[in-house]
C-alpha cells in the first residue's frame, strides 16, 4: 500500500534494483512489498534530488530521517488532517447496526471528491486505531507492588455444615518483581473474607511491599476513580496496620493489572485443572489442596529459563520486603444485639448462638467481632468472650453464664446421687446405686434423685434410712416405692420374727384323711 513504512535496508534494495532496470512489479515480488510502496519511495527520491549513489552511501539513520521528513510533510497536508479528524466519528458510527467502513468512506468521498481512496482510508484508520491502543510498558521493582484480584471462575467443595456442594471464591495475590503468588479459597468476596485473605497473603510472603494494588472491588474500594479512589475504611485500617500504602487500578483499565490477569491463567492451569474432579470436604480441606498445588506452581521454572518464581523471591524479593514487626491484622466489626430469654445472643454472620451471663437477659449489648473472636460488652464493660464457631444453628454456652439451677442440671451426674446417699447411710447409698443403674436415661435418673432428696426434707433422715432398708427387702429401687412406704408409715412398723412351724408327733387322737370320706 502506498505510503507504508518499510526498513531503510529495503529502500536501498529498491533504489539499487531500479537503477539496474528491474521492473517495479518484479521488485515488489522479490522484496515482498506492495508496488505502490515502491512508487511512494521512488517519488520521495525524486523530490529529494539526490543520486542513488549518494543515498546508498548514507547510514540507515540518515536515510530514515530524510524519508520520514518527507512522509511527515505528506501526512500533514490538509486532506490527511481532515480525514484523521473524522476518525473518532468513524469509530462511534461503526458500533451502530449496518454501518461499515465502506459506508463511511462513501459519505466522506461525497463531501471530498478528491480525497483518499477506500484502501488508503482503511489503512490510515487502522494506523490511527493502533495509536489509540498504545500502552506504556510497566516495569516491576522487587518489593514495590502487590497486586490483588479474584478469579472469575470458582472452586467447589462439600460444605459439611449444610451438607451441600458449595462454590468458593478464589483470591489471587502476586508480588510484582518475582511474580511469586499466593492463592486462597474464601467463602465470599465480602469485606471480611477479602481483608482476611489479603492479610494471610502478606504473612505468606513474610513481609510487606511498598504499595498494594487492588482491583476496584467494593470490599476494598468504596468509590473508584481514575485519579483518586475512595477506600473502604476497614481495608484502609488493614493497610495502615501493615504500614504500607494502596493505589487501586483505574476503572475499566485492564492494562493496570495485566500481571495479575496473566497469573490468573496460571492459576487455572496449575490449580483449577488438577482439582476439577475433586470435592474436598470443607473449605479448610480445599485450601490444603490449593496450597499443595500452589507450592508446585511457584517452584516450576519459567518457560525457557532455568529459574522459578520461588528462586526470584528467595534470592531477590524477600529481602526487599518490609519486615512483619506487627501481629496479624484482626478485622473488627461492631454490632448491637439483644440478649434473648435463654441468655444467648444470636450472631447472624456465624448462624450461631453465644452465651451471656444470665443477669443480662433482655439487655442490649455491644458485640466486637474479629476474624476469630467475639467480645461482648454492656455499658462499656466486657461481660463475655467466645471463640467464633463454624457450627451453624448450634450453641456455645459457658457454665458460668447459667443460673445456679440450670448449672446444676448440666453438671449433675449419676455418681453424685450415690455419693449423696453414702453421706447419709450405707442403706441409702445401696438404694441409690440400684436406682441409678436401673435408670439409664439421664434426666429420669436426675429427677428420681431430686425426689429422694425431697423425701429426706419431708420425713427426716432416720425414716428415709428405714424406708430404704424395707424397700431393699422388697428388691425395689424406684422413687414411688420409697414414697409409698413413707406415706403409709410402713417404715415405722416394727417387723417381728416369724415363729418356726412345730411338727406334732403322731398319736391316736389324730384322725386320718379316711375319716372324712
For 453-509, how does the pLDDT look when each residue is reduced to its tens digit (9 = 90+)? 888 888 888 888 888 988 888 888 788 888 888 888 888 876 655 555 556 566 666
Residues 6+ apart with CB under 8 A from 98: none
All three cell numbers of 6, joined, read 518499510
Going from the C-alpha of 178 to that of each of 182, 214, 294, 320, 379, the distances in angstroms are 12, 18, 15, 11, 51
Query: Does one domain contain both 203 and 280?
Result: yes
**pLDDT value for 256:** 46
Q: Is 500 domain-assigned?
A: no
Q: Is 431 domain-assigned?
A: yes
DSSP letter at 326 equals S
Query: Does one domain contain both 356 and 215?
Result: no
Q: Is 138 domain-assigned?
A: no
Q: What are the φ and ψ backbone dihedral angles of 191, each rounded to 5 degrees? A: -50, -50
Query: Does one domain contain both 431 and 473?
Result: yes
Indicate whether 40 pLDDT > 90. Answer: no
For 50-60, how does the pLDDT look when each residue is reduced to its tens digit (9 = 90+)? 788 888 877 77
Q: What is the mean pLDDT of residues 336-344?
A: 90
Query: Does one domain contain both 157 and 237?
Result: yes
Burial of 78 (0-12, 13-18, 19+ CB in 10 A): exposed
**pLDDT value for 227:** 42
Average confidence score pLDDT of the chain: 80
Q: Is 55 domain-assigned?
A: yes
Q: Is 228 domain-assigned?
A: yes
**pLDDT value for 334:** 81
The total of structural domains in the chain comes to 4
Query: Does one domain contain both 338 and 454?
Result: no
For 374-419, how does the pLDDT look when each residue is reduced to its tens digit (9 = 90+)? 889 988 888 999 999 988 888 888 888 888 766 666 567 778 888 8
Query: Does one domain contain both 166 and 299?
Result: yes
Residue that wins the pLDDT comparison between 86 and 56: 86
Q: Is 325 domain-assigned?
A: no
Q: Is 504 domain-assigned?
A: no
- Under a CB-based contact definition with an 8 Å cutoff, are residues 460 and 466 in contact? no
Query: Does one domain contain both 45 and 156?
Result: no
Query: Does one domain contain both 366 and 430?
Result: no
CATH of the domain at 175: 3.30.420.10
Range of the domain at 399: 333-403
Least confident range of 16-20, 342-346, 416-420, 443-447: 443-447
Number of other CB atoms surrounding residue 404 within 10 Å: 8
Domain boundary among 255, 287, 320: 320
Query: Does one domain contain both 175 and 293?
Result: yes
Query: Does one domain contain both 76 and 187?
Result: no
| Distance, first Cα to last Cα, the chain | 151
Query: Does one domain contain both 121 and 26?
Result: yes
Query: Does one domain contain both 170 and 90?
Result: no
Q: What is the mean pLDDT of residues 328-345?
A: 85
Q: Is 511 domain-assigned?
A: no
Domain boundary among 108, 132, 156: 132
DSSP letter at 262 equals H
Give pTM, 2 decimals.
0.47
- Indicate the pLDDT class of residue 193, thresholds 50, 70 and 90: confident
- Under a CB-based contact definition with an 8 Å cutoff, are residues 374 and 333 in contact? no
Amino acid at each position: 500500500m502506498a505510503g507504508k513504512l518499510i526498513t531503510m535496508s529495503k529502500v536501498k534494495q529498491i533504489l539499487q534494483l531500479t537503477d539496474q532496470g528491474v521492473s517495479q512489479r518484479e521488485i515488489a515480488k522479490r522484496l515482498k512489498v506492495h508496488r505502490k510502496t515502491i512508487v511512494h519511495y521512488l517519488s520521495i527520491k525524486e523530490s529529494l534530488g539526490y543520486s542513488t549513489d549518494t543515498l546508498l552511501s548514507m547510514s540507515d539513520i540518515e536515510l530514515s530521517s530524510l524519508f520520514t521528513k518527507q512522509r511527515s510533510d505528506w501526512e500533514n497536508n490538509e486532506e490527511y488532517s481532515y480525514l484523521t479528524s473524522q476518525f473518532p466519528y468513524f469509530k462511534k458510527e461503526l458500533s451502530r447496526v449496518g454501518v461499515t467502513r465502506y459506508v463511511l468512506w462513501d459519505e466522506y468521498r461525497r463531501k471530498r471528491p478528491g480525497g483518499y481512496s477506500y484502501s488508503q482510508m482503511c489503512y490510515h484508520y487502522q494506523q490511527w486505531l493502533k495509536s489509540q491502543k498504545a500502552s506504556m510498558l510497566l516495569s516491576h521493582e522487587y518489593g514495590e507492588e502487590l497486586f490483588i484480584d479474584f478469579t472469575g471462575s470458582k472452586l467447589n467443595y462439600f460444605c459439611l455444615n449444610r451438607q451441600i456442594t458449595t462454590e468458593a471464591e478464589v483470591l489471587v495475590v502476586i508480588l510484582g518483581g518475582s511474580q511469586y503468588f499466593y492463592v486462597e479459597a474464601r467463602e465470599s468476596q465480602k469485606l471480611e473474607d477479602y481483608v482476611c485473605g489479603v492479610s494471610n497473603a502478606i504473612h505468606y510472603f513474610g513481609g510487606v511491599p511498598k504499595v498494594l494494588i487492588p482491583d476496584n472491588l467494593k470490599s476494598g474500594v468504596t468509590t473508584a476513580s481514575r485519579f483518586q479512589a475512595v477506600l473502604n475504611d476497614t481495608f484502609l485500617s488493614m493497610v495502615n496496620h501493615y504500614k504500607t500504602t494502596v493505589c487501586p487500578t483505574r476503572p475499566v483499565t485492564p492494562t493496570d493489572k495485566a500481571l495479575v490477569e496473566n497469573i490468573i491463567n496460571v492459576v487455572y492451569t496449575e490449580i483449577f485443572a488438577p482439582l476439577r474432579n475433586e470435592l474436598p470436604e470443607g473449605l479448610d480441606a480445599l485450601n490444603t489442596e490449593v496450597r499443595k498445588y500452589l507450592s508446585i506452581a511457584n517452584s516450576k521454572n519459567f518457560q525457557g529459563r532455568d529459574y522459578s518464581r520461588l528462586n526470584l523471591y528467595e534470592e531477590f524479593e524477600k529481602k526487599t520486603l518490609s519486615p512483619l514487626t506487627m501481629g496479624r491484622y484482626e478485622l473488627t466489626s461492631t454490632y448491637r444485639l439483644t440478649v434473648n430469654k435463654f441468655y444467648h445472643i444470636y450472631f447472624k454472620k456465624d448462624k450461631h448462638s453465644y452465651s451471656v451471663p444470665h443477669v443480662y437477659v433482655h439487655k442490649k449489648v455491644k458485640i466486637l467481632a474479629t476474624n476469630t473472636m467475639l467480645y461482648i460488652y454492656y455499658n462499656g464493660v466486657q461481660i463475655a468472650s467466645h471463640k467464633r464457631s463454624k457450627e451453624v444453628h448450634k450453641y456455645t454456652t459457658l457454665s458460668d453464664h447459667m443460673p445456679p439451677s440450670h448449672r446444676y442440671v448440666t453438671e449433675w451426674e449419676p455418681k453424685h446421687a450415690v455419693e449423696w446417699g453414702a453421706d447419709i447411710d450405707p442403706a441409702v447409698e445401696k438404694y441409690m446405686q440400684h436406682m441409678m443403674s436401673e435408670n439409664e436415661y439421664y434426666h429420669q435418673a436426675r429427677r428420681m434423685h431430686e425426689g429422694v432428696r425431697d423425701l429426706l426434707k419431708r420425713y427426716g433422715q432416720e425414716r428415709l434410712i428405714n424406708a430404704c432398708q424395707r424397700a431393699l427387702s422388697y428388691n425395689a429401687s424406684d422413687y414411688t416405692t420409697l414414697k409409698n412406704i413413707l406415706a403409709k408409715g410402713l417404715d415405722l412398723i416394727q417387723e417381728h420374727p416369724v415363729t418356726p412351724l412345730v411338727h406334732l408327733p403322731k398319736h391316736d387322737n389324730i384322725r386320718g384323711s379316711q375319716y372324712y370320706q
